Structure 1
Amino acid sequence: MFGDMMGMMGKLKETQQKVEATKKRLDTVTLEEKSNDNLLAVTITANRQIKKIAIDDRLLEDKEQLEDYLIMTLNKAIQNATSVNEAELAAVAKEGMPNIPGMDSLFK
């Protein structure tokens, strides 16, 4: 029994290391979100760090419109990045979890 516990602890530590490596890798995964008319584009990492915002000159003429575009496009970008982030981390965590009945439903 003690050996099983040590094996499980080792597996959990290994999983923790994989999660940390995945977090670092997600810093390099970039997603691009554009407004419906392509006047605004946002590049974001899967760890939700904004890397670039490209604004068409036509949006600079109307401050309120630009603000609306930024809010909508940034929110979509953050939502997509969060989905990728959560899916990647859940996959790594699920892979490293011991087979405990009922636990698999937590990672769906």
Structure 2
Amino acid sequence: MFGDLMGMMGKLKETQEKVAATKERLNTVLIDEQSTDGLLKVTLTANREIKNLEIDTKLLEDKDQLEDYLILTINKAIDKATIVNEAELAAVAKDGMPNIPGMDGLFK
């Protein structure tokens, strides 16, 4: 019984390390998004950190329009990054979980 418990604890520690490594790797996965007309471009990591922002000078003439563009485009980029982030972390967590009865339905 204790051998199984120790094995599970070891597997959980290994999974924690894999999750940490995956989070670190997601800092290098870049998500690009742009406004429909291409006047605003955003690049962020799969961990949702903005890395680059390109604003066409046409948008600098209208503060309200620029703010709308920023909100819409950044939110679209964050949505894409969140999908990638959650899928990658869920895959690592599911793969690394020990076989605990009743827990198999949590990571589908």
Q: TM-score, normalised by structure 2?
A: 0.94
Corresponding residue for residue 89 of structure 1:
89
Cα distance in structure 2, aligned partners of 1:37 and 1:106: 41
* Offset at residue 60 of structure 1 (A): 1.1
Cα distance in structure 1, aligned partners of 2:2 and 2:59: 65
2:22 counterpart SS class: helix
Gaps of 5+ in 2: none
Cα distance in structure 2, aligned partners of 1:70 and 1:23: 26
Corresponding residue for residue 11 of structure 1:
11
Q: Which amino acid aligns with 1:34?
A: Q
Cα distance in structure 2, aligned partners of 1:2 and 1:33: 51
1:95 counterpart SS class: helix
Corresponding residue for residue 45 of structure 1:
45
* Offset at residue 100 of structure 1 (A): 3.1
Cα distance in structure 2, aligned partners of 1:7 and 1:79: 37
Cα distance in structure 2, aligned partners of 1:80 and 1:99: 31
Cα distance in structure 2, aligned partners of 1:81 and 1:45: 7
Cα distance in structure 1, aligned partners of 2:100 and 2:4: 13
CA-based RMSD of the aligned residues comes to: 1.1
What percent of counterpart residues are identical? 75
Q: TM-score, normalised by structure 1?
A: 0.94
Q: Which amino acid aligns with 1:30?
A: L
